[in-house]
Chains A and B, each alone.
Chain A
Amino acid sequence: FYCTQRQRRSGSRCTHSSFRPPPFIFLGNQTSLNLFAFTVSGKKLQSFRSAERPQAMASSTIASPSASFIPTKKELGRSAFSPASSPFSVPKCRKSISKKIVSVMAPQQSERKPAATGSVKTAMTMTEKILARASEKTHLSPGENVWVDVDILMTHDVCGPGSIGIFKKEFGQNAKVWDREKIVIIPDHYIFTNDERANRNVDILRDFCAEQNIKYFYDIQDRGNFKANPDYKGVCHIALAQEGHCRPGEVLLGTDSHTCTAGAFGQFATGIGNTDAGFVMGAGKLLLKVPPTLRFVMDGEMPDYILAKDLILQIIGEISVAGATYKSMEFVGSTVESLNMEERMTLCNMVVEAGGKNGVVPADSTTFKYLEDKTSLPYEPVYSDQQARFLSEYRFDISKLEPIVAKPHSPDNRALARECKDVKIDRVYIGSCTGGKTEDFMAAAKLFVASGYKKVKVPTFLVPATQKVWMDVYSLPVPGSGGKTCSQIFEEVGCDTPASPSCGACLGGPKDTYARMNEPKVCVSTTNRNFPGRMGHKEGEIYLASPYTAAASALTGYVTDPRDFLQ
């Protein structure tokens, strides 16, 4: 029932135990238009169509008020990985699923921690609570369509001009944005290029920001020297975090699919298109459908060759690229709590690759510490209630995880890195919102140090996400290196010089983009997508991997398990 579609096609059996789902209620029909508040009328009792399909999710039971269910916490075995018998075979489903059935409509016990939103009559998940507060409701359930106040709207050079065009067309050429302090405009995609249209698009942003007196516009004018632009940041999702625009409990929308990255801060963050963004620019609100939540519980001590990228690749490989469609992904557990903010961002970043609407990590001391020097605006975190209902719960024992890659051409084409050791590669790319943060470069540098400063065997491209990351790469000492910086280590092992911060070649871009794949090559990349043509050339083969795996692969010229150097 939980096997991925891929496994079903290959005929391999799912090894986890199956169970009969209790009668369920259809929680959302795409054709009922998630976009606008058209009621899911007449669909409520329709059986979940995708029950025939392998990646169907059993929905939570919604019993009549008189019935109540006892919470069960079944641990359906470990997620220990057993070695596949043949190379390149797809790992069997090994995650354990426990279906948590919770009491419904029960009056809350007084010893339960009150939600930040005030008195809550019925339990809600984090995502439901955030949307409830933003829509001024006391309670929300998945499937409800609500008008949500937006705290931050982000756009960049690719989608900004289009959104601005729609805003002006629909609200008027002289209309003013709803709040000049809540729109953050971050050129980052096609910056260091001679493409005239790309350059023009940044000009369009500038003109709009001047006209609207937009407070946060991270402009760049001198493309020849990024350091000459004091306001310029780089990759929008990292810039949002570093500039203190991500705050627990808030609603952040952005014209980019990886806006879900900000969920790492315990907020609702998701990607929208130009039309929706144009609407928000004028209205400051958007109609959103409340998603049900999938819960991912990760426990166990994180092995020192595993990074958050491995965690999320593992999850996506498990549930497939559509496994979280229209759903929220909540990441909890001791392993998650041990992650720093950048690692949590990596985790949430690829929620969209599973089809997810948003990802969330509960805010804690790590979050608050990170935010201390970044924002002075007040914020109020929210947390899932004990009795909140989740669509499904997945449990992972991370201590048993091995380094993972996603093979061409899909983020859910999961394999063990060590199973791919015969794959010869042409290049390595370390960059993007997913894998171009300070922690990501630190990890790569640490591996190079551990290897004894072996030289890389293939061109290794480094693209720091933001100016701040670039500076960290050039100034922070790498543990275990005797005080060397990442940049020194990278130079010593023969990597390319770290490039100007931007999205770079993660998505190909104009033909003159640094590190763009203009010929069919095999690349190990710390980026987020590997569909055909993603980095430029349609026949290019991209293996998505963690910075450790990418660095290890650079040293051998083959896809390499980082344990070869870290242990």
Chain B
Amino acid sequence: MAVSYSSSLSSFAAAAFSETKASIAPASSQAVRFASISSARPFIAPLTSNSTVLRNRRASFVTPRAAAESHSSPTSFHGLCYVVGDNIDTDQIIPAEYLTLVPSNPAEYEKLGSYALIGLPASYEKRFIEPNETKTKYSIVIGGENFGCGSSREHAPVALGAAGVAAVVAQSYARIFFRNSVATGEVYPLESEVRVCEECRTGDVITIELGESRLINHTTGKEYKLQPIGDAGPVIEAGGIFAYARKTGMIPQSA
């Protein structure tokens, strides 16, 4: 059943927030059908034996709306952490020479993942991805201030997600990176309250209790409070903004 996009957009807006009251003028294009999500985002298998990662949010990407309600939201991530410093810019996350890879192309999406954080300088002795691997063994990246600064390239959160990162825990984010992380649903951009990057070391075993906004470092035995992910959580869990809008009925699935 083709439903006018404009009217569903209004309901999306109304449902999403209470502040705006304006009605949204119909889009000038004609009513469009939405393709169902046929090309599934690849399900990332659990990583090496050292870590297990719950990737419920990926699974939900392909389930029809009715079934989505029965699956549980990811409440925790568990795995090894990779620690970086402040101002990790997008050129370090995914150097520009790899931007010829198109993220919406599944094969190139995987390839992007294999280059995640390859731009980090040699001072980072432990590489994020081993030379012959395409996925990382670190499912949690811990950073400092202004993580993801620089370019607006969506390839940055995509590369991290494709490599197998479940969540980034940083002190603060650059805005476009944060926005892109949520829009794509690739990684949870979590914020810490203190400089966790100075208290954790690459290879520490970490658990993130998302519902409790807590990070536990099993290697040091310390715990840290995180900023609640808030309304961004369900969007990322659904697999990004389009998937979320469809899952919650804000945009109709095509018949």
Tell yes or no: A72 within 8 A of B by CB: no
- Contact flags (1/0) for A1-17 with B, using CB distance below 8 Å? 00001000000000000
Q: Is the CB of A169 closer than 8 A to any CB of chain B?
A: yes
Q: A33-B235, A169-B104, A531-B150 are in contact. Are A38 and B22 (CB under 8 A)?
A: no
- CB pair A275–B184 under 8 Å, yes or no, is yes
The 0/1 profile, CB within 8 Å of B marked 1, for residues 490-513 of chain A is 000000000000000001111100
The total of chain B residues at the interface (CB under 8 A) is: 75
**How far is B95's CA from A136's CA once the two chains are assembled, in angstroms?**
40
Across the interface, do B27 and A178 meet the contact criterion of CB distance under 8 Å? yes
- Indicate whether A144 sits within 8 Å of B231 (C-beta atoms), given known contacts A34-B178, A271-B152, A531-B150: no
Residues of chain B with a CB closer than 8 A to A285's CB = 9, 24, 27
Q: How far is the CB of B238 from chain A (nearest CB, A)?
A: 12
Report A-chain residues with C-beta under 8 Å of the C-beta of B18. 39
Interface residues of B in 130-163 (CB under 8 A from A): 145-146, 149-155
Tell me whether A222 is interfacial, beta carbon within 8 Å.
no
Alpha-carbon distance A276/B97, docked complex (angstroms): 23
**Distance to closest chain A CB from B181 (angstroms):** 9
- A279–B119 Cα distance when bound, in Å, is 30
Check if A385 is an interface residue, CB within 8 A of chain B.
no
Complex contact B100–A510 (CB within 8 A)? yes
Q: Which of B17, B152, B155 contacts A145 (CB 8 A)?
A: B17
B183 at the interface (CB under 8 A from A): yes
Q: Which of A60-68, A101-109, A189-197, A551-559 contacts B (4 or more CB under 8 A)?
A: A189-197
Of B91, B179, B254, chain A has the most CB atoms within 10 Å of the CB of: B179
The interface residues of chain B lying within 8 Å CB-to-CB of A376 are none
Q: Flag if B92 contacts A326 (CB, 8 Å).
A: no
8 Å CB contact of B174 from A144, A175, A355? A355
Nearest A residue to B14 via CB reads A37
* Docked complex Cα distance between A32 and B182 (Å): 11
- Do the beta carbons of B230 and A158 come within 8 Å of each other? no
Name the distance in Å between A453's Cβ and chain B's nearest Cβ.
36
**Which residue of chain B is the closest to A356 with respect to CB atoms?**
B175
- Tier of interface size on chain A: 35 or more
A170 at the interface (CB under 8 A from B): yes
- Known A37-B13, A170-B34, A275-B240; contact A31-B20, beta-carbon cutoff 8 A: no
Which of these, B22, B35, B174, contacts A173 with CB under 8 Å? Answer: B35
Nearest chain B CB to A547's CB is how many angstroms away? 23
Inter-chain contact A322/B35, CB cutoff 8 Å: no
- The closest CB in chain A to the CB of B23 belongs to A136
Binary per-residue interface labels of chain B (82-117) against chain A in the complex, 1 for a CB within 8 Å, 0 otherwise: 000011010110011101111111000000000000
Q: Are A322 and B174 in contact (CB under 8 A)?
A: yes
CB A91 to nearest CB in B, in angstroms, measures 20
- Among A29, A34, A35, A197, the residue within 8 A (CB) of B101 is A197
Chain A residues within an 8 Å CB radius of B231: 32-33, 36, 38
- Does B224 lie at the interface of the complex (its beta carbon under 8 Å from any beta carbon of A)? no
Which 10 pairs across A and B sit closest by C-beta, in order of nearness?
Answer: A165-B104, A38-B231, A273-B154, A271-B152, A37-B17, A197-B100, A273-B180, A275-B183, A33-B232, A507-B96
Instruction: Please report B residues at the A interface, Cβ cutoff 8 Å.
Output: 5, 9, 13, 16-20, 22, 24-25, 27-30, 32-35, 37, 39, 86-87, 89, 91-92, 95-97, 99-105, 119-122, 145-146, 149-155, 172-176, 178-180, 182-184, 189-191, 193, 227-232, 235, 240-242, 254
Question: Given A33-B235, A275-B240, A507-B91, list of 19 further CB < 8 A pairs?
Answer: A5-B86, A31-B232, A32-B230, A33-B182, A34-B179, A36-B182, A36-B231, A146-B20, A158-B100, A161-B105, A177-B29, A200-B100, A271-B152, A273-B153, A279-B242, A322-B172, A326-B175, A507-B151, A538-B119
